[in-house]
């Protein structure tokens, strides 16, 4: 149904392949636009965003350990550390 497409990364200018499988995934998720960046540039952008994100300290509602979260904790909802969150998911 889909064929691989060669696109040009708007960040680095290199060609990259937008595979048929990726195209199907985009349609399933309802994405309207094709990717504008290659995987390397997308990953670099995500990592840059993570490094600049402010993290907040909270106490895990289940085990009492310190947890770092990317949002300001509120008292009306429990916060879980990574381990407890994984157990409850």
Domain boundaries, the chain: 5-52, 56-88
- What's the whole-model pTM score? 0.56
Contact yes or no for 38/55 (Cβ under 8 A): no
pLDDT band for 70, please (50, 70, 90 cuts).
Answer: confident
Give me the sign of the Cα torsion angle 61, 64, 67, 71.
Answer: positive
Contact yes or no for 51/25 (Cβ under 8 A): no
State pLDDT tens for residues 18-61.
999 999 999 999 999 999 999 999 999 988 877 777 889 999 99
């Amino acid at each position: 149904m889909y064929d691989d497409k060669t696109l040009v990364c708007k960040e680095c200018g290199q060609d990259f392949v937008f595979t048929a499988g990726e195209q199907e995934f985009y349609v399933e998720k309802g994405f309207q636009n094709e990717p504008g960046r290659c995987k390397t540039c997308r990953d670099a952008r995500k990592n840059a965003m993570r490094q600049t994100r402010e993290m907040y300290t909270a106490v895990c509602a289940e085990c009492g350990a310190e947890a770092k979260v990317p949002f300001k904790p509120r008292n009306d909802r429990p916060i879980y550390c990574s381990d407890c969150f994984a157990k409850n998911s």
